[in-house]
Amino acid sequence: MEHGLYLHSLKLCLKAQGLTYGELAKQLKMTESGVKKMLNAKDISLRRVLKICDVVNISLGELFSSAEALAVPTVYLSETQEESLLKDRRLLAVYWLTVIEKRTASEIRNMQGMNDVVLKSCFQKLVSLNLLTYRKGQYRSLYSRKFRWSDDSKLAKVLNKEWSELTLRRALKRGDAVHRLIAIKLSKPSYENLQSKLNDVFNEIIKTSEREELSLNSRDLLDVTALIAAVPKGVFMPE
């Protein structure tokens, strides 16, 4: 998450509580001008963010959730864009690695086993589809911040199904994966409570990810795919 996003969220919290920069400065044992400079800087230490969170009485997770809700727009792709990405999965891989994972061209080439000609062709195709832009000798995302595809889009539905199945297959094969299946009986309210708790687990993991992306070197972070599934059907019930 960009620093500006959660700084903006902090400012909204200060405003909502009627807390001035001067009052915050006293709590942080800083000058008012120092606080203003800090909250308008391009960078701020995690330690400072935690101290401000203590002052405004919110958790770091709540701050990230608030900033995420304000910042993540929904992107609607055209039918041509979606069909092109689904038809050519190599194209999709280059797009995903460039836009979502922020990989460099050399990293993508090595990860996908592509030569320079093929990779450049993919980049140019993505530019022609208005999925990437080419500036200052680099292929870049059209969006400076995080975004999400519409849940109703064909692309999101197809990839959600395919990648969920892929994640499950990998979990069944790998010794270092987490996998557990249970068959139980629950009342409808208890099942709905289960759904809510599983969502809470994922939301907490997302907050942890955001925090560690800010505080740790990217080399110390693992790429992790996680899947949670629960259906109100028994194993031997027909589809």
- Within the chain, which residues score under 70 in pLDDT? 1-5, 42, 67-72, 144-146, 214
DSSP per-residue string spanning the chain? --HHHHHHHHHHHHHHTT--HHHHHHHHT--HHHHHHHHTSS---HHHHHHHHHHHT--HHHHHHHHHHHH--EE---HHHHHHHHH-HHHHHHHHHHHTS---HHHHHHHHT--HHHHHHHHHHHHHTTSEEEETTEEEES-SS--EE-TTSHHHHHHHHHHHHHHHHHHHH-TTS----------HHHHHHHHHHHHHHHHHHHHHHHHHHHHS-GGG-----------SS-TTS--
> What does the pLDDT look like over 2-60, one tens digit per residue?
566 677 778 888 887 888 888 988 888 889 888 888 888 767 777 888 888 888 888 87
pLDDT reported for residue 49: 83
pLDDT reported for residue 145: 65
pLDDT reported for residue 102: 86
| Residues 6 or more apart whose Cβ sits within 8 Å of residue 116 | 109
Alpha-carbon dihedral 48, 50, 53, 55, rounded to 10 degrees: -70
Q: Residue 184: what are its φ and ψ, rounded to 5°?
A: -140, 170
Q: Which long-range contacts (CB under 8 A, 24 or more apart) does 208-213 make?
A: 210/1, 210/64, 210/68, 211/46, 211/60, 211/61, 211/64, 213/1
pLDDT reported for residue 56: 83
Pairing of strands 148-149, 138-141: unpaired
Domains of the chain: 3-71 (1.10.260.40), 75-141 (1.10.10), 151-220 (no CATH)
pLDDT reported for residue 4: 67
- The average confidence (pLDDT) of the chain is 87
pLDDT reported for residue 70: 59
Q: Residue 165: what are its φ and ψ, rounded to 5°?
A: -65, -40
Q: Does the pTM exceed 0.85?
A: no
